[in-house]
Amino acid sequence: MYFNLSTWIGIAGMVLILLAFLMIQWQKWHQDDLIYDLVNFFGSAALIYYAIIGNAIPFIILNFIWAASSLRDVFIDIKVLRAIKHNPHWKQAT
């Protein structure tokens, strides 16, 4: 069986998305962890590429929304980390 580059990118994206899912299930990561959001973003970005190559419109839309949501959370995570760095007693509003 031969896998071309786009297939390998799709597999990598799938592995990243499943890794994020499993880390949440196993309670190793939390939904507000930067690593969780980064892994989800890069996984969904890879799957967007794979879906574009395969002309899978529903899959493109799904992963675009997934990537956009993850990227939004990455920026929120960075904002929180910066606030904590500049004020160690800072707490995020809940």
Domain limits, the chain: 29-87
* Residue-level pLDDT at 70: 98
Report which residue type is found at 24. Answer: I
CA 22 – CA 29 distance, rounded (Å)? 9
CA 64 – CA 91 distance, rounded (Å)? 31
**Tens digit of pLDDT per residue, the chain (94 long)?**
889 999 999 999 999 999 999 999 999 999 999 999 999 999 999 999 999 999 999 999 999 999 999 999 999 999 999 988 888 676 665 5
Other beta carbons less than 10 A from residue 54's beta carbon: 13
Residues in the chain: 94
**What is the H or E stretch that residue 10 is in?**
helix 5-25
